[in-house]
Amino acid sequence: MPQPDISANDPDFAADPYAYYARLRARGPVHRVGVSAPEFAPALLVVGYEEAREALAHPGLAKDWKTGAVLRGVEANAANSNLLETDPPQHTRLRRLVAREFTTRRVQALRPRVQQITDELLDAMAARPERSADLIEAFAFPLPITVIGELLGVPAPDRERFRHWSREVLAPTSVPARTAHLRLADYLAELVAAKAEDPGEDLLSALVRTRDEDGDALSSAELIGMAFLLLIAGHETTVNLISNGTRALLAHPDQLADLRADPDGLLDGAIEEMLRYDGPVQNSTYRYAREDLEIGGTAVPAGATVLVSLAGAGRDPARYEEPDAFDVRRAPQGHLAFGHGIHFCIGAPLARMEGRIAFRSLLERFPDLAEDPAAGPPEWIGGSLIRGVTRLPVRW
């Protein structure tokens, strides 16, 4: 079977990557694939569920590309000093410091404000005389960017500019990803400096002030790196949780009817099913083999790069019965949409809380919500990291 470059904008792959992963999985759980950047070769893609769990927690697969000179010719900057690009003991230290302030209590305290933002956005949608909108522009984007922006203390006028940079980092269209990365890092350096000079009640100010029992604190570079990760991961994934979940519901009217009939009983499980069925992160970021090792019976040579397909794992029939069916009554516990192991998404509680409020409010407010039949075919986000569409025209 031809193996497309999964990092390129192949329209057939973008429209249905699940069929491609299924064909690969039928031949085995781990495969060599093409990638557009030569510094990432050889690259291996893990598509089986059990093998994906193994790879996500494998101590022989590193996340820190800076120490091993894996990416020759690529210079690190402050934004790279984050949880996703470090390994123990540095990762352990960073996570401990961040967890002191990014707590469940802080997330739950946001609930009334998340509901308020949601209601205001849906009010604006309902006031449209044309009774139609791009759900991403009107709701799925402004909700999480406002929430994470307020949580971290990003000034409102900067959020649209930030959105452009973060999208270019994840799926470049107009500038190289590294250029967008550097511009965003420069902006965040200014923001961190401003918080150090004049702290507020936001999370970034709290991270500037936080100290461990032994006096350890986050450096300026680490603060920039954490702000970079939390801002991008804290909004882009939730945008696509809302839009992908809405697309799944509208494409399965029987499931939508079940959820409307019993939101109290089904909503939490429905969101987990959305994450399994068509989650916002299609493949993990790269891991790097420190040594020769084996995953799923496949040899992984030292120096190889490994991609874990969260999307492929979520549709593995060895784990889930009828994996290609969308079922809001399913119990999809153990899905890998938020990762697994030490790099499990620290923002998962915030994403779940936003998802619950967003879907309950959207479905209550617009009982006849439907995709706009005049909208044309979907336009997919490029690349193989983020799974989603650039527009979601709906009507009611």
Q: Residue 379's domain is classified under what CATH number?
A: 1.10.630.10
Q: Can you tell me the mean pLDDT for 216-224?
A: 90
pLDDT at residue 33 in the model: 80
pLDDT at residue 72 in the model: 54
Domain for residue 37, yes or no?
no
**What is the side-by-side order of every strand in the sheet holding 393-395?**
132-134, 393-395, 370-371
Domain for residue 20, yes or no?
no
pLDDT at residue 127 in the model: 98
250, 370 Cβ separation under 8 angstroms: yes
For residue 80, which of 263, 219, 250, 208 has the smallest C-alpha distance?
A: 219
Is the predicted pLDDT of residue 252 greater than 60, yes or no? yes
Q: Read off the pLDDT band of 73 (50, 70, 90).
A: low
Higher pLDDT, 275 or 160: 275
Domain for residue 361, yes or no?
yes
pLDDT at residue 70 in the model: 53
- Kindly report whether the peptide bond that precedes residue 89 is cis, defined as omega within 30 degrees of 0: yes
CA-to-CA distance for 383 and 172, rounded, in angstroms?
8
226, 94 Cβ separation under 8 angstroms: yes
Q: Can you tell me the mean pLDDT for 333-352?
A: 94
pLDDT at residue 38 in the model: 55
Is the predicted pLDDT of residue 112 greater than 90, yes or no? yes
Is the predicted pLDDT of residue 228 greater than 50, yes or no? yes
Q: Can you tell me the mean pLDDT for 178-190?
A: 83
Is the predicted pLDDT of residue 303 greater than 90, yes or no? no
pLDDT at residue 37 in the model: 58
Is the predicted pLDDT of residue 132 greater than 90, yes or no? yes
352, 345 Cβ separation under 8 angstroms: no
CA-to-CA distance for 63 and 228, rounded, in angstroms?
16
Domain for residue 329, yes or no?
yes
pLDDT at residue 78 in the model: 76
Spell out a b/e string for 361-373, using b for 16 or more CB atoms within 10 Å of the CB, else e: bbbebbeebebbe
**What is the side-by-side order of every strand in the sheet holding 305-308?**
30-33, 43-46, 305-308, 287-289, 61-62
Domain for residue 229, yes or no?
yes
Is the predicted pLDDT of residue 10 greater than 80, yes or no? no
150, 109 Cβ separation under 8 angstroms: no
CA-to-CA distance for 120 and 327, rounded, in angstroms?
30
Domains contained in the chain, number: 1
Higher pLDDT, 176 or 292: 292
Domain for residue 47, yes or no?
no
Is the predicted pLDDT of residue 3 greater than 60, yes or no? no
Structure confidence by residue, pLDDT tens digits, 137-153: 999 999 999 999 999 89
Q: Can you tell me the mean pLDDT for 188-207?
A: 91
pLDDT at residue 140 in the model: 97
For residue 245, which of 394, 45, 123, 119 has the smallest C-alpha distance?
A: 394
Q: What is the pTM of this model?
A: 0.92
Is the predicted pLDDT of residue 109 greater than 90, yes or no? yes
Domain for residue 16, yes or no?
no
Region at 30 (left for phi over 0; alpha for psi -120 to 50; beta for the rest): beta
State which residues form the domain around 190: 75-280+322-395
Neighbouring-strand partners of residue 309: 283
Q: Can you tell me the mean pLDDT for 96-116?
A: 94
Q: Read off the pLDDT band of 69 (50, 70, 90).
A: very low
Is the predicted pLDDT of residue 364 greater than 90, yes or no? yes
Q: Can you tell me the mean pLDDT for 279-287?
A: 94
CA-to-CA distance for 150 and 245, rounded, in angstroms?
24
Is the predicted pLDDT of residue 129 greater than 60, yes or no? yes
Domain for residue 10, yes or no?
no
SS3 110: coil
Q: Can you tell me the mean pLDDT for 262-273?
A: 96
Higher pLDDT, 395 or 212: 395
Least confident range of 37-41, 322-326, 376-380: 37-41
Beta strands 43-46 and 305-308, pairing class: parallel
Is the predicted pLDDT of residue 392 greater than 50, yes or no? yes
What is the average pLDDT value for the chain, to the nearest integer? Answer: 89
